[in-house]
Amino acid sequence: HFMLKEIHEEPDAVKKTIMEVSDIKKVVEKFPKFNRICFVACGTSYHASMIGKYLFEGIVGIPTDVILASEFEFSAGALDEKTLVIFISQSGETADTLKALRTANEKAETLAIVNVLGSTATREADHVLYTRAGPEIGVAATKTYVSQLTCIYLLAICMGQNEKLLEEIHKIPEYMKNALEKEDQIKDIAKKYKDAKDFFFIGRGFSYPTAMEGALKLKEITYIHGEGYAAGELKHGPLALIEDNVPVVAVVPPGESHDRTLGNVQEVKARGASVIALGSCNDAVLRSESNDIIEFEDEIRDLWSPLPYVVPLQLLSYYMSVERGIDPDKPKNLAKCVTV
């Protein structure tokens, strides 16, 4: 399948995007001083944008919003020449994204981060950055997602002039390669849960968008109901849905959010959930609370976790799809490019 091949190409796609950092620096040099950043996107690209918000607020210190392209006409906030509106799109042709771009172009500075060379968004935005994922045939975005993320990290790093993070990003492709080595374990997990009716994905901070993306991949190619939740929101209603054997994928990297997400893992466990955890190989408590644990190097803290931690989630959806007799390259009701 294209999808599996493209997941395996991810470390390389990230590496190639890192190599283009000089293009990013050139674009940043042209920027005036902004006082608001606004990300706009659909689907998987929206989840990359959500991570962008944490990065821009944390590294650059500029207030940042994330708006679904289809909602932009109803709620875009104040747009002026001090606002940078960043459009994230694999194809550069998504209808809702282009419509929002045309509105934003009239009032604010616009930047398109796109994978397809010469696409409409690249011709219409004030500034353009390319992700270097190469062509993506799989309908559900995988390697283009991690390339978008890489580009967003680099943009935040360049705008925030953070040399330490610029050095650290070079280690990420290796971590992603190691994550790919969990494939056999993930195949077994997929077999175990292939008949589940509902799935929950939980995480906090940087792991919240990862949880959302894990749930979207599951919906897109397995047709199983998957909900991505900010772990702290569970207690505001959805806990009622956690009962015996409901699979809960918990994204729990070490870092600021760790202890509170671990508390949520204990909560769902007490209600009988089957916990599939993603966390550090040194996290003995998380291991003891989980039915399955996918382990990562301990040094991958929450800020960098979105890149390596999404890999097993993509593989899980892929293998669940195959287990259910679905062709993950031909999901029903989903086009590679949504032009309506």
Scanning the structure block, which residue is given the tokens 């650290």?
168
Binding status of residue 97 toward ligand F1P by CB under 6 A: yes
Least distance between ligand F1P and beta carbon 69 (Å): 8
Which phi and psi (to 5°) does residue 40 adopt?
-135, 130
Which residue's Cβ lies closest to ligand F1P? Answer: 43
Q: Distances in Å between the alpha carbon of 314 and those of 133, 141, 217, 256, 276?
A: 16, 9, 7, 25, 14
Query: Of 86 and 275, which has the nearer Cβ to ligand F1P?
Result: 86
**Among the listed residues 17, 38, 43, 276, the single contact to ligand F1P using CB under 6 A:** 43
Tell which residue, 13, 14, 22, 6, has the closest CA to residue 129: 22
Q: At what angle do helices 43-55 and 143-160 cross, to 10 degrees?
A: 20
Q: Distances in Å between the alpha carbon of 211 and those of 208, 214, 220, 226, 260?
A: 5, 5, 14, 10, 15
CB 87 within 8 Å of CB 37: no
Q: Which of residues 297-336 bind ligand F1P (CB under 6 A)?
A: 334, 336
Q: Which two tokens stand for residue 161?
A: 């002039």
Query: Of 78 and 335, which has the nearer Cβ to ligand F1P?
Result: 335
Binding status of residue 49 toward ligand F1P by CB under 6 A: no
Q: Which of residues 77-96 bind ligand F1P (CB under 6 A)?
A: 89-91, 94
Tell which residue, 150, 91, 96, 151, has the closest CA to residue 122: 91
**Among the listed residues 42, 179, 275, 276, the single contact to ligand F1P using CB under 6 A:** 42
Query: Of 94 and 257, which has the nearer Cβ to ligand F1P?
Result: 94
Q: Cα(121)–Cα(111) distance, rounded to whole angstroms?
A: 9
Binding status of residue 139 toward ligand F1P by CB under 6 A: yes
**Among the listed residues 9, 18, 24, 44, the single contact to ligand F1P using CB under 6 A:** 44
> By CB under 6 A, which span of 139-147, 151-159, 198-206, 318-326 interacts with ligand F1P?
139-147
> By CB under 6 A, which span of 42-50, 57-65, 126-134, 239-247 interacts with ligand F1P?
42-50
Binding status of residue 5 toward ligand F1P by CB under 6 A: no
Cα radius of gyration (the chain): 19
Q: Give the residues lining the site for ligand F1P (CB under 6 A).
A: 42-45, 89-91, 94, 97, 139-141, 334, 336-338
